Chain A
Amino acid sequence: MNTTYGIVAITLVAVATLGIGAFGLRVSRTTSDFYVASRSVSPWLNSSAIGGEYLSAASFLGVAGLVLAFGADMLWYPIGWTTGYLLLLVFVAAPLRRSGAYTIPDFAQVRLQSAGVRRVATALVVAVGWLYLMPQFQGAGLTVRTVTGAPGWVGTVVVAAIVVVNVVLGGMRSITFVQAFQYWLKLTALLVPVFFLLAAWDDDGRPSPVAPSDWIDPFSTGDATGLYLTYSVMAATFLGTMGLPHVVVRFYTNPDGRAARRTTLIVLGLLGTFYLLPTLYGVLGRIYATDLIDSGRTDAVVLELPSRILGGTTGEVLAALLTAGAFAAFLSTSSGLTMSLAAVMGQGLAGARLSGISALRLAAVGSVVVPLALALSAERIAVASSVTFAFALAASTFCPLLVLGIWWRGLTAPGAIAGMVGGGLCAGVAPVLTIAGSPDGWFGTAMSQPALWSVPVGFGLMIGVSLLTRGSVPLNVARTMVRLHTPERLDVDRRDR
């Protein structure tokens, strides 16, 4: 690949990101601007921002690589990631927005009136965020190295620095603009080359993929292990989406509950449109780039196809466009995660000594340092597996907290803590065991995808302990329930800082 085009593409994305961030800076003034963009983001802008934030490198590069290597079975990942949004819409979107809280720990405290629940939720937000940030930083280093030949740490540090500068300067409003821009950049980056690639494929006499039948037919191996793994991925992606801190916080930026529903609907359309494209790259890769499977570099298929199929300047320019898209994917996901971590940690820091905005800025630096250090020192773990563990952890802790908190008045603070700690331990120990020891057999399978059993553990503990501590149902539960389930204007005492 031509190094100059690649460097130009990466520089342009970085400059545009900072430039749009600076534009947001001019309109960010108050604390509310910083945390939730003053709750005034329109559904289309907000949906684009959600799409921009959600479609990480795992979606941009990873899905095509998985389809190239494993075929139709892997389509389950994009379907699961999309469906997670439907569950988010039906179960939590509008009530969560109406709760009047900024973050999940805020919601937990408003609903359960307990500082203990708040602390546990804060710790979990940080854990999920770090688990998700580390592979993004590592992936950025890998992409920059592939494109420019620079050492791996360069891309990692550049992405971390841009993200921190953006959050520190502009807060949520500036991040919203940046991410909306990056969704459309990612879509364009995948869409434009597809026309050229398909035209070349047509000229070529439309060859079919050379592949064994289990590549074409989903789940044709027909064993129980495969079924367990698939169901577990479903549980993690369906239920984890609503618990991802950087996704949930977006619903606080809608003007009202109705807008929150509209936003989800548009997001589903945007995600569905996007996910058709990596699948096409994977199938084309099966025709033109099968050698990547043997060399284990399937993640590079999206970046390599233009030079292989088209070649020449056209191929190089299109490859640079795809590089820009990949870089946007790292930047946008990391920005969203850093923003939500900073929001949660900033609230803990804010007090007599620090204003809300200074606390947010300090927390932004703090929330990037640990995953940055991990990304630079730790051995590279596959992006997809680290991300799936983050989904499983969110599904086992925040999903029960949100669903029960919104729809069951019997939830108590001890129950919520027991469920989050228990579910979190199950979903947290499993990846450690898998990475440290790679156990075999059924135990190993259960550990490699924990969601199918750790989510019921989280729900079970939350319900069970709540029933045992029935006496400590918060006194204000009637008011909170009315507030969650009726429209915004019912808000004489809704907290709106």
Chain B
Amino acid sequence: MVEKVSPEAQAAYERIHASDDFARLKKAYLGFVAPMTVAFLVWYLLYVLCSSYAGGFMDQQLIGNINVALVFGLLQFVTTFGIAYWYAKYSAAKMDPIADALDEEFEREVQS
């Protein structure tokens, strides 16, 4: 399927793609996602490793029958939700304004 795009719109797209704002948008995204993905994978992989090889550490009783493994496991879920919430906040605060600015710029360029 070949889509029809007016030459003005095509030019505007090309220009926006090359603009500083678009680069900033991608940088803002990567600046959050790259470190977060690494941290989050290490955290998950560590849980499985500790469970397999560090039984003594995981078996320590904290309160009553509750041991380190159980708390560690529950925290996995809490972090999942926490990161998701943090990401939604971050996108709304840092990425959406840049995207909105680009959007307005495009409208002006194509309509004028």
Contacts and interface: CB of A to CB of B under 8 A. Distances in A.
B109 to A, nearest CB: 11
Nearest to B98: A486
A86 B80 CA distance: 7
Interface string A215-236: 0011111110011001100100
Interface in A100-132: 109-110, 113
Nearest to B10: A479
A473 B53 CA distance: 47
Nearest to B85: A265
Contact of B92 (A258, A272, A482, A486): A258
Nearest to B32: A90
Interface in B25-48: 25-26, 29, 33, 36-37, 44-45, 48
A406 to B, nearest CB: 11
B77 A79 contact: yes
Given A79-B76, A478-B13, A486 B48 contact: no
B17 to A, nearest CB: 4
Given A222-B53, A261-B91, A478-B13, A490 B59 contact: no
A269 B3 CA distance: 39
Given A72-B73, A227-B48, A493 B3 contact: yes
Interface in B48-78: 48-49, 51-53, 55, 58-59, 65, 67, 69-70, 73, 76-77
A158 interface: no
Nearest to A231: B48
B84 A268 contact: yes
B99 A485 contact: yes
Contact of B22 (A261, A485, A487): A485
A489 interface: yes
Given A217-B58, A479-B5, A86 B48 contact: no
A239 B94 CA distance: 26
A205 to B, nearest CB: 16
Contact of B17 (A227, A264, A481, A493): A481
Interface in A239-265: 258, 261-262, 264-265
Contacts of B93: none
A492 interface: yes
Nearest to A276: B77
Given A218-B51, A478-B14, A487-B103, A262 B26 contact: no
B4 A493 contact: yes
A227 B102 contact: no
A219 B2 contact: no
Contacts of A109: 1
B99 A226 contact: no
A493 to B, nearest CB: 5
B17 A262 contact: no
Contacts of B59: 217
A402 to B, nearest CB: 15
Pick the most buried of A269, A476, A482: most chain B CB atoms within 10 A of its CB: A482
B81 A227 contact: no
A487 to B, nearest CB: 5
Given A222-B52, A272-B77, A86 B83 contact: yes
A332 interface: no
B106 A490 contact: yes
Contact of B44 (A234, A481, A492): A234
B61 to A, nearest CB: 12
Contacts of B102: 482, 486, 490
B45 A231 contact: yes
A495 B3 contact: yes
Given A231-B48, A485-B25, 14 more contacts: A72-B69, A72-B73, A79-B76, A83-B44, A90-B87, A227-B48, A230-B48, A262-B88, A478-B18, A479-B10, A479-B17, A486-B22, A487-B96, A493-B4
Cβ-closest 9 pairs across A and B? A219-B51, A478-B17, A479-B13, A218-B51, A219-B52, A486-B99, A222-B52, A490-B103, A486-B102
25 contacts: A72-B70, A79-B77, A82-B77, A86-B84, A89-B84, A89-B87, A113-B2, A217-B69, A221-B52, A227-B49, A261-B91, A264-B84, A265-B84, A268-B80, A478-B14, A478-B17, A479-B5, A479-B10, A479-B17, A482-B13, A482-B102, A486-B22, A489-B103, A492-B6, A492-B110
Interface of B: 1-6, 9-10, 13-14, 16-18, 22, 25-26, 29, 33, 36-37, 44-45, 48-49, 51-53, 55, 58-59, 65, 67, 69-70, 73, 76-77, 80-81, 83-85, 87-88, 91-92, 96, 99-100, 102-103, 106-107, 110
